[in-house]
């Protein structure tokens, strides 16, 4: 389910998040490991400024392992506790309460030094739509928490879920909007499926995706589509080069219409679908140095 973000929604989402953050000790920010920069909310650093933050790269089963490691280092250098997780299988997620507990150590010591017993660590999962917030909450709760309306503004009684011995997790995630200003961010969100397909132009997204893959993963394209001519070197393929690749893939995969012309809609959909289902391998669309 994808949210249409209107100014009213955004203001409400921000207000709700600020209220929720007051209740918790640690913010668990979830991003998509295939697009760790593009899947972050632009205001998160302001909104969550005064709380320790755990940064989780989710969907690592679909991402390039080497780049996931680079992203983790990048976030660690920025001072976050950053970790890779696969919420679908639970890989990595079993350690979340420990990571959270490390982040509350200083606060706990303060409380205990005054002779009180520190309470459980309270945490909140936040992120843009579709990064896997509900999947992770269900995973940590070890049961299916009814998915509330995936719309900012829908409030229901929220509850704490006990996770391990030391953590309590708010059962409703904080949902924030993605970055809007940068068209490349939008195209990356669309390519990964974070934006509803009805709202995207497949040809636009496929052209962009092929451009990124030509630079980043020419061998993956070559292998998948058996094309010799795509060992592209350089950083800025010309549109003609991208169209030539599009044509070659369409032809190779039989996406043709009358007169031997390429069916661009079908070719575009095929490329996007194959990227999303890892037919081209585990690929990440951005690296830290590009986004600094």
Rank residues 61 and 263 by Cβ distance to ligand G4P and give the closer one.
Answer: 61
Q: What is the 3-state secondary structure (H, E, C) of 241-264?
A: HHHHHHHHHHHHCCCEEHHHEECH
Residue listed under structure tokens 């997780």: 85
Q: Could you tell me the smallest distance in angstroms from the CB atom of residue 173 to ligand G4P?
A: 6
3 binding ligand G4P? (CB under 6 A)? no
Stretch near ligand G4P under the rule CB under 6 A, chosen from 46-54, 125-133, 217-225, 254-262: 125-133
* Alpha carbon distance 217, 284 (integer Å): 9
Rank residues 39 and 97 by Cβ distance to ligand G4P and give the closer one.
Answer: 39
191, 285 Cβ separation under 8 angstroms: yes
Rank residues 130 and 267 by Cβ distance to ligand G4P and give the closer one.
Answer: 130
Rank residues 62 and 207 by Cβ distance to ligand G4P and give the closer one.
Answer: 62
241 binding ligand G4P? (CB under 6 A)? no
Rank residues 193 and 288 by Cβ distance to ligand G4P and give the closer one.
Answer: 193
Q: Could you tell me the smallest distance in angstroms from the CB atom of residue 193 to ligand G4P?
A: 7
Q: Could you tell me the smallest distance in angstroms from the CB atom of residue 1 to ligand G4P?
A: 7
Binding to ligand G4P (CB under 6 A) within 126-145 occurs at: 127, 129-135
Q: Could you tell me the smallest distance in angstroms from the CB atom of residue 107 to ligand G4P?
A: 28
Rank residues 133 and 224 by Cβ distance to ligand G4P and give the closer one.
Answer: 133
CA-to-CA dists, residue 139 to 88, 142, 232, 263, angstroms = 8, 5, 41, 42
Binding to ligand G4P (CB under 6 A) within 27-86 occurs at: 58-59, 61-62, 86
**20-38: burial string, b at 16+ Cβ within 10 Å, e else:** bbeebbbbbbbbbbbbbbb
Q: What is the CA radius of gyration of the chain?
A: 21
x-or-dash pattern for ligand G4P, window 260-279, by CB under 6 A? --------------------
- For the residues of 9-76, what is the DSSP string, one character each? HHHHHHHHHHHHHHT-SEEEEEEETTSTTTTS-TTHHHHTTTS-EEEEEE-GGGS-HHHHHHHHHHHH
Question: Binding ligand G4P by CB under 6 A: which of 24, 26, 47, 87?
Answer: 87
Question: Binding ligand G4P by CB under 6 A: which of 81, 88, 166, 203?
Answer: 88
101 binding ligand G4P? (CB under 6 A)? no
How many residues in the shown chain lie near ligand G4P by CB under 6 A?
16
The beta-carbon contacts of 3-9 under 8 Å, at least 24 apart in sequence, are 3/129, 3/150, 3/151, 3/152, 3/175, 3/177, 5/177, 5/180, 9/151, 9/152, 9/153, 9/177
Query: Smallest Cα–Cα separation from 87: which of 25, 30, 46, 42?
Result: 30
Per-residue tokens: 109: 């010591």
93 binding ligand G4P? (CB under 6 A)? no
Rank residues 174 and 186 by Cβ distance to ligand G4P and give the closer one.
Answer: 174
Which residues of the shown chain bind ligand G4P in the complex (CB under 6 A)? 58-59, 61-62, 86-88, 127, 129-135, 150
């Amino acid at each position: 389910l994808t949210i249409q973000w209107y100014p009213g929604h955004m203001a409400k989402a921000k207000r709700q998040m600020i209220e929720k953050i007051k209740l918790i000790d640690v913010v668990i920010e979830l991003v998509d490991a295939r697009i760790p920069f593009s899947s972050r909310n632009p205001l998160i650093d302001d909104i969550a400024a005064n709380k320790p933050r755990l940064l989780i790269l989710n969907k690592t089963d679909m991402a390039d392992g080497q780049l996931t490691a680079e992203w983790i280092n990048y976030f660690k250098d920025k001072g976050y506790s950053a970790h890779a997780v696969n919420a679908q299988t639970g890989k990595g997620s079993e350690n979340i309460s420990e990571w959270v507990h490390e982040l509350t150590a200083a606060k706990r010591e303060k409380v205990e030094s005054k002779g009180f017993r520190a309470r459980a660590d309270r945490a909140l999962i936040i992120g843009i739509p579709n990064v896997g917030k509900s999947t992770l909450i269900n995973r940590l709760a070890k049961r299916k928490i009814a998915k509330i309306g995936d719309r900012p503004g829908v409030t229901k009684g929220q509850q704490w879920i006990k996770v391990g011995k030391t953590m309590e997790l708010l059962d409703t995630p904080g949902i924030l909007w993605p970055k809007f200003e940068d068209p490349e961010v939008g195209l990356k969100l669309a390519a990964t499926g974070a934006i509803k397909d009805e709202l995207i132009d497949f040809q636009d997204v496929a052209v962009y995706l092929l451009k990124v893959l030509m630079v980043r993963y020419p061998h993956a394209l070559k292998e998948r589509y058996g094309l010799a001519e795509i060992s592209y070197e350089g950083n800025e393929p010309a549109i003609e080069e991208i169209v030539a690749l599009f044509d070659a893939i369409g032809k190779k995969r039989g996406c043709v219409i009358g007169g031997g012309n390429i069916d661009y809609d079908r070719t575009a959909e095929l490329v996007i679908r194959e990227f999303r289902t890892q037919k081209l391998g585990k690929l990440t669309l951005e690296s830290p140095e590009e986004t600094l």
